[in-house]
Amino acid sequence: MTDHPNIYAPKKDIDILTPFGPVIGYKKLSTKFIRDLNNHIDDDLPDHSDYLVGKVKQEKRFSDDINKLFINELGSYIFEYYKYCFERARMIPDSLPKDIDYQLSIMNGWFVRQYTGEYNPLHIHTNCSISCVGYLSLPKDFDKEVKEDYKDHHPSHGHIQFSNGSPNWLESSGFVAKPRVGDFYIFPSKLLHCVYPFYSKGERRSFSV
Residue 80's alpha-carbon distances to 43, 85, 94, 197, in angstroms, are 31, 9, 12, 32
E strand or H helix at 33? helix 31-39
Tell me the whole-structure pTM to 2 decimals.
0.92
pLDDT of residue 91: 67
Mean pLDDT over 28-50 rounds to 96
Q: Is the pLDDT of residue 143 over 70?
A: yes
Using left for φ > 0, alpha for ψ between -120 and 50, and beta otherwise, residue 170 falls in left
Instruction: Kindly give the pairing relationship between strand 204-208 and strand 25-28.
Output: unpaired
Local confidence band at 86 (pLDDT 50, 70, 90 cut-offs)? confident
Q: Tell me what pLDDT residue 2 has.
A: 67
Distances in whole angstroms, Cα of residue 166 to Cα of each of 21, 59, 87? 12, 31, 25
Grouping H, G, I as helix, E, B as strand and the rest as coil, residue 100 is coil
Q: What is the pLDDT of residue 99?
A: 80
Contact in structure between 53 and 100 (CB atoms under 8 Å): no
Say if residues 178 and 110 touch (Cβ distance below 8 Å): no
- The helix (run of H) or strand (run of E) holding residue 166 is none
pLDDT of residue 110: 97
SS3 sequence of 53-65: CCECCEEEECCHH
Higher pLDDT, 3 or 61: 61
- CA-closest candidate to residue 136, choices 40, 24, 26, 71: 40
Name the band, by pLDDT with cuts 50, 70 and 90, for residue 7: confident
pLDDT at residue 95 is higher than 80: no
3-state helix, strand, coil in the chain (%, to 5): 20, 25, 50
Residue 1 is predicted with a pLDDT of 57
The three-class DSSP label of residue 22 is: coil
Per-residue pLDDT, averaged over 143-164, amounts to 96
Residue type, 82: Y
Tens-place pLDDT, residues 10-36: 778 898 888 889 999 999 999 999 999
For residues 165 and 124, give the distance between their C-alpha atoms in angstroms, rounded to a whole number: 14
